[in-house]
Amino acid sequence: MPRVPVRFRDRRDMIPRLTVRELFDQVGERMKLRWVAGQRGEQRVIEPGENLTRRPSLAGYLNVIFPNKVQIIGTEELQYLDGLDPRQRWEVIEKIINYRPAALLVTKDQPMPTDLREAANETDTPLWQSPLRGHELLTYLQYHLARALARRTTLHGVFMEVYSIGVLITGDSGSGKSELALELITRGHRLIADDAPEFTLIAPDVIDGTCPELLQDCLEVRGLGILNVREMFGDTAIKRNKYLRLVVHLQRLDGDINNQPIDRLRGDASAREVLGVDVPMLTLPVAPGRNLAVLVEAAARNHILRLKGYDPAQTFIDRQAHQLKHQRPW
């Protein structure tokens, strides 16, 4: 049966934004930045939404036609400005400033043009300088801004690494998510985040999950309270981040599990939409006597086989069809 997308309401869908001051504090040491002029523009905001329908990226070399948010001014760009007569030069600088870039960045510690510094101070446009080359600054800025401004959300559940893939365990309160996570940890798997893992869309179909700093290493189990997994089981029981590959949803049953409708060949498989990406989801009924840890391990192994192109249910169907085809007529 084809997977049917199941839509859940995320706990929090965060709109990413970054001020110039925050960006400078995050990358300033790594990129050896110096704030030369325009310090009063530190609260300018960089947001991804306004760039979705335009050609430029968030960071790029100086462009007066399709301006980027962070304009990198290298040797060629300064030579271009120096080749203009004073009137044209001022018109170009004025045009750049009027686009309200988040910041201007001069590379290789080149002499700072006086008119550019004055224009930055008059319009509160942050003007930075770095000894690094332009392509180094561009590569790191693009990577950092892509991560910092990527779409992200927080979901309710326990995020684990099981057999090298990221598995999000979800379910209603009291369904046994934390107890299951604790059992998986004792079996050698690793905890990433409990209760509120954060997920970031770092590529069109890649979702990275991590743990908020406040909840790092912690697991809350009813009756035991807060447990520090790192202190109890060691550093190998904790994983910093992992790509989300599978969702296992725990569903408590009201009646006998044998009376519940279920696809006996493929199980209760569907998909959960996370940040616009359909993530495979498997629903496991919770009932007395079921070893959920073993079932989650089997689900992870089976998912890995599917990623490699092997479908056990389809293999069984083909085998049965072959048997019927060659069966002797009565």
pLDDT along the chain (330 residues), means of 10: 43 71 93 94 80 59 80 91 91 90 93 92 94 92 86 93 96 89 96 94 90 94 93 95 95 65 70 92 86 94 90 81 75
The position carrying tokens 């190998």 is: 236
What pLDDT is attached to residue 55? 45
Q: What is the number of other CB atoms lying within 10 angstroms of the CB of residue 169?
A: 25
Q: Which residues are the active-site residues?
A: 156, 177, 195, 264
pTM greater than 0.85 (yes/no): no
Exposed e or buried b for every residue in 284-294, given b needs 16+ CB within 10 A? Answer: bebeeeeebbe
Please give the full DSSP string across 19-30, using - where no structure is assigned: EHHHHHHHHHHH
Q: Is 150 helix (H, G, I), strand (E, B) or coil?
A: coil
State the Cα–Cα distance between residues 327 and 330, nearest whole angstrom: 9
Q: Which of 151, 142, 141, 155 is nearest to 16 (CA)?
A: 151
- Give the closest residue to 312 by CA, choosing from 269, 279, 258, 277: 269
Q: What's the angle, vertex CA 27, arms to CA 21 and CA 29, rounded to 5?
A: 105
Of residues 296, 256, 5, 294, the one with CA closest to residue 157: 296
* Ordered DSSP codes for 258-327: GGS---TTT-SEEEEEETTEEEEEEEEEE-TT--HHHHHHHHHHHHHHHHTT--HHHHHHHHHHHHHHTS
C-alpha–C-alpha distance, residues 238 and 210, integer Å: 11
pLDDT for 52: 42
pLDDT at 54: 47
3-state secondary structure 193-236: EEECCEEEEEECCEEEEECCHHHCCEEEECCCEEEEHHHHHCHH
Q: What is the DSSP letter of 37?
A: E
The per-residue pLDDT for 322 is 80
Report the pLDDT value the prediction gives residue 256, as an integer from 0 to 100.
58
Domains and CATH numbers, the chain: 17-148 (3.40.1390.20), 152-321 (3.40.50.300)
Helix (H) or strand (E) holding 120: helix 114-123
How many Å apart are CA 105 and CA 35, to the nearest integer? 9
- CA-closest candidate to residue 108, choices 76, 75, 140: 75
Those residues with Cβ within 8 angstroms of residue 259's Cβ, 6 or more apart along the chain or in another chain? none
